[in-house]
Amino acid sequence: MFDPASLKYDAHGLVPVVAQDHASHEVLMVAWMNAEAVARTVATGKVTYWSRSRQAFWVKGESSGHVQKLVELRVDCDRDCLLVLVDQTGPACHTNRRSCFYTAVRDGAEVVIMEPSE
């Protein structure tokens, strides 16, 4: 059985998490989890992060409705990073964009490649 304590957390007890759309494979966002957030995510199927700024659990979409339903959790080879494959409802980014990765660097310049949803 998977044990969240088996992961390698940083000095603050956190592990980085990449959220990816399970169908399109688009990388949506990067956030953090502690062991309890990992356990809650696995137990509920609702992706739960640890907010470093608020020092609190953050169930993605709890207030916005832009939820992330867990499809699969993957552990990297060093056990110090997670990939969550999700079914994303609405935008994943707080800027109301599908992905947090909406700025590209092209020919040395930053270019916005994705506009916010209406």
Binding residues for Zn(2+): 77, 93, 100
Give the number of other Cβ atoms within 10 Å of residue 12's Cβ.
Answer: 10
Binding residues, by number, are: 76-78, 80, 93, 100
Residue appearing with tokens 């964009």? 97
Binding residues for Mg(2+), by number, are: 76, 78, 80
Q: How far apart are CA 23 and CA 43, in angstroms?
A: 22
Q: How far apart are CA 4 and CA 106, in angstroms?
A: 39
What's the one-letter identity of residue 47? V
What's the one-letter identity of residue 48? T
Q: How far apart are CA 68 and CA 96, in angstroms?
A: 14
